[in-house]
Each structure stands twice: as C-alpha cells, then as structure tokens.
Amino acid sequence: MKKLESREDIELLVNSFYGKVIKDEEIGLFFNEIARVDWAKHLPKMYAFWESVLFGQMSYKGNPMGAHFPINEIRAMEQKHFDRWLKLWTATVEEHFAGEDADQAIYKAENIAKLMAFKMDLARRL
Ligand code: HEM
C-alpha cells in the first residue's frame, strides 16, 4: 500500500472522500442542500487544509471551526454525523494509503472532529 506523502496524494484522498460524502444519506445533505457547496472553491481549501495539518505547509488560511457554526444553526451537526464523517474519512484513507502519515490523517481528523462536535453542541445550548 502506498504512503501518503505528496500534494497529489492529498488531492486524491480529498476528491475520493467528498465523492463518498455527496452520495451519503446521513451527511450528504449538509453539503448538497444546506451549504450548497461550491466545489471549485471548497476542494482547493481542503487540499490546503490537509497539506497544512499533515505536512505543515501553512497553505491553509481559514477558520475550520468557524465555517461550521452557520451550518450547525440551520441543521444540528450531531455526534452521529461526526461519527459518519469519520467513518467515511477513515475508509477513504485506508482504501488508498498506509503508513505514518495515513495514520496521522485518521488520528488528527478524530481529534478535530471531537473538538468540533463539542463546540457545535455547546453552541446549540447557548
Ligand atoms: C458532521 C461533520 C461535518 C460536516 C457535515 C461538515 C460540513 C462542511 C461544510 C458544509 C462546509 C462548507 C463548505 C463551503 O464553504 O461551502 C465545511 C467546510 C470545512 N470543513 Fe467541514 N464538516 C464536517 C466535519 C469536518 C471535520 C471533522 C473537519 C476537519 C477534520 C472539517 C474541515 C472543514 C474545513 C477545513 C472546511 C473549510 C473551512 C473554510 O472555509 O476555510 N469538517 N464543512
């Protein structure tokens, strides 16, 4: 199995992940109907995000948590949605890659998702 090591690898991973996401019955609607994602803009952001998280590239300049609050206000982003997101992410990583950076891609997503789920839940209580 291939190592996750280049920008091209990240593009493949991200494209194939969102290919699953948009068809998904549980979380597809957040992207297709609620945020009505402009994929030509979103995908390059996500390449930069993962390049920064995994390879320390500093190419992502954004607010990953902040982007989700408006979505959470329209439709609650609950633990079950994060579980599903992580299941699709982990499956996509494992389909294509193995090794330390592949493990890190899963581990870091788990941590960010945990924090994000907590913040979305808190925001709904305030
Ligand atoms: C239930 C889980 C999640 C859902 C439904 C979700 C949905 C979305 C949506 C609809 C957008 C907006 C796209 C747009 O701008 O049009 C977005 C942006 C983004 N998401 Fe998520 N997301 C989830 C979890 C995560 C997790 C766990 C991460 C990180 C590991 C993440 C990272 C990002 C980033 C980096 C952006 C771009 C923010 C920016 O505009 O700079 N998301 N997400």
CATH code assigned at 65: 1.10.490.10
Q: Are 81 and 30 in contact (CB under 8 A)?
A: yes
**Would residue 1 count as lying in a domain?**
no
Per-residue pLDDT at 1: 87
- Give the per-residue pLDDT at 30: 98
pLDDT at 126: 84
Predicted pLDDT at 44 = 97
Burial call 39-73: b when 16+ CB within 10 Å, e when fewer: eeeeeebbbbbbbbbbbeeeebeeeeeeebeeebe
Q: Which domain holds residue 22?
A: 7-125
Residue 72 within a domain: yes
Out of 68, 83, 118, mutate this one to test ligand 1's pocket (max ligand atoms within 8 Å of CB): namely: 68
- What's the number of domains the chain is made of? 1
Res 57: pLDDT: 87
Tokens of 34: 């609620």
Tokens coding 1: 């199995």
pLDDT, averaged in runs of 10, over the chain (126 residues): 96 98 98 97 97 93 94 97 98 98 98 97 94
pLDDT of 32 reads 97
Is residue 87 in contact with ligand 1, taking CB distance under 6 Å? no
For the CA of 113, the closest atom of ligand 1 is 27
